[in-house]
Amino acid sequence: MQIVTMECEVCGERNYTTNKTKEMVQQRVKLNIKKFCPRCKKHTAHKEVK
């Protein structure tokens, strides 16, 4: 498992971490999740950062 940080695409705040399986890393799966951002005070798209 690899821990990835999820960053708000609107303000850049890093709000969440999640796990990727080895298979997801090998397949270069890009995570894009809608999450609540405390800074934007609403649900926004979150992308993974290195």
| Residues near Zn ion, by CB under 5 A | 8, 10-11, 13, 37, 39-40
**Closest distance between Zn ion and the C-beta of residue 4, in Å?**
17
Nearest-angstrom CA–CA distance, 46 and 50:
13
Residue with Cβ nearer Zn ion (13 or 48): 13
Decide if 35 contacts 43 (C-beta within 8 A): yes
**Closest distance between Zn ion and the C-beta of residue 48, in Å?**
15
Query: CA 19, 21, 25 angle in degrees (round to 5)?
Result: 100
Residue with Cβ nearer Zn ion (2 or 9): 9
